[in-house]
Amino acid sequence: MLVLLDNARSTEQVVPLLPGSNATVLVTSRLKLAGLVAAHGARSVSLDVLHSADAREFLTARLGAARVDAEPEVVADLVSWCGGLPLALSIVAARAAMEPDFPLAAFAEELREQPLDALDAGEIGTNLRAVFSWSVAALSDEAARAF
């Protein structure tokens, strides 16, 4: 069994949710959660943004090769505007999948004009502005200003 605990705030939030049986638990967090490593033997894996080739492959998997191959320069622009962030790419892919007849160039134009507005698929978990606000809330005042 695989248990996914996404966007954890703290070790204290995660511990009561850990299963008592043999299961693999994957915890995602913007924090290091050293308590899970120290007290529960968790392995910490830091992830970086996707490289452009991986980001293009990600969009291809979500939208299909025909659609991505039809607008290669636009896809490169989308990948660039998303900065390799999997969530940003997921939002672009979700919006494009919901509008299969809408040219990808229209999404790219929207990203150029209003990047954070374009990275909103209509739900709290698919709104990059909201997700960034969660990250900022976890920072000190000084770090939040820098962010």
How many structural domains comprise the chain? Answer: 2
Task: Indicate the pLDDT class of residue 7, thresholds 50, 70 and 90.
Answer: confident
Owning domain of residue 26: 2-40
Whether residue 33 is contained in a domain is answered as yes
pLDDT of residue 34: 94
* Same domain, yes or no: 87 and 125: yes
pLDDT tens profile 34-79: 999 999 999 999 888 999 999 999 999 999 999 999 999 999 999 9
Its pTM stands at 0.69
Whether residue 58 is contained in a domain is answered as yes
The mean of the pLDDT values for the chain is: 85
Burial status of residue 76 (CB atoms within 10 A of its CB: 0-12, 13-18, 19 or more): middle
Whether residue 47 is contained in a domain is answered as no
Whether residue 147 is contained in a domain is answered as no
Contact 110, 118 (CB under 8 A): yes
The neighbour count for residue 105, using CB atoms within 10 Å, is 14
Contact 108, 74 (CB under 8 A): yes
Percent of the chain with pLDDT over 90: 40
